[in-house]
Amino acid sequence: MNAVTTRDVRARKGGTPLVCLTAYTAPVARLLDPHVDLLLVGDSVGMVVYGLETTLAVSLDTMVAHGAAVVRSSERACVVVDLPFGTYQESPEQAFRSAARVLAESGCHAVKLEGGREMAETVAFLTARGIPVLGHVGLQPQAVHTQGGFRAQGRSQEAAEAIMADARAIADAGAFAIVVEGVVESVAAEITEEVAVPTIGIGASARCDGQILVTDDLVGLSPSSPSFVHRYAEIGGTIDDAAARYARDVRERAFPGEGNVYKARQAAGGAG
């Protein structure tokens, strides 16, 4: 199969919905790659893999390392890496330096950044210099403190109009697609109708041009999941059961068994 490019993603506006998931490691990327159009190496790695309370402490080094692992282990999906908090908000020039490093060192296809109208100039600056950008409006985890926590956005008319304006600004600035997170369903659907680039929903609307979820939520590795997640598997329970059976076998000296140990070679010999 041919690799999915950012141009391919953009061309899917109004077509077959885009399938997107997060990936932070090589084994998971290898498993997901045949099934998805886009793999996002999100700064959610800080919460999912490192146990942080928010994404704010994630570094550029961390994103580069995880991005490179995912790129090495995928062949088909378009791989996008998040720019973490504090690496792009200061100026378009700072954003360019950060994005250029991520693309060069990880080999990914594009970067993602959060923000609306205030980031439009930065998105235009990056895209004009050959860096594809995936936008992100609505609930923005990097702005968790100013948005009052992880809560749905766009409930009031004023808030809905602000998110609409953000999406328009990012699309007009040159983003090839926009993640719409935690937005009231009707607002997400309206954004999808209005902007010329694909919308990728998470806790938004089935009418978006695609969907994305955190893979650990999808497969039941997270201790709890947001209400908008459908858990397609419960891998956490499988791992717990395997660890329990392993512990039992070790304590009972049933493991390792005869097939799990190395034997000394028989010495060659014979009658002299």
82 labelled as ligand-binding? yes
25, 69 Cβ separation under 8 angstroms: yes
181 catalytic residue (yes or no): yes
Token pair of 211, please? Answer: 């969907």
Which region, left, alpha or beta, applies to residue 198 given φ > 0 means left and ψ of -120 to 50 means alpha?
A: beta
Q: Among residues 75, 118, 121, 181, which one is catalytic?
A: 181
- Two structure tokens written together for 37: 């159009």
> 74 labelled as ligand-binding?
no
Q: Is 13 annotated as a binding residue?
A: no
Q: Reduce the secondary structure of the chain to three states and give it as a string.
A: CCCCCHHHHHHCCCCCCEEEEECCCHHHHHHHHHHCCEEEECCCHHHHCCCCCCCCCCCHHHHHHHHHHHHHCCCCCEEEEECCCCCCCCCHHHHHHHHHHHHHHHCCCEEECCECHHHHHHHHHHHHCCCCEEEEEECCHHHCCCCCCCCCECCCHHHHHHHHHHHHHHHHHCCCEEEEECECHHHHHHHHHHCCCCEEEECCCCCCCEEEECHHHHCCCCCCCCCCCCCCCCHHHHHHHHHHHHHHHHHCCCCCCHHHCCCCCCCCCCCC
Determine whether 14 is exposed, middle or buried from the number of CB atoms within 10 Å of its CB (0-12, 13-18, 19+).
exposed
Binding-site residues: 43-44, 82, 112, 114
Binding-site residues for Mg(2+): 43, 82, 114
Binding-site residues for 3-methyl-2-oxobutanoate: 43-44, 82, 112
Could you give the residue numbers annotated as active site? 181
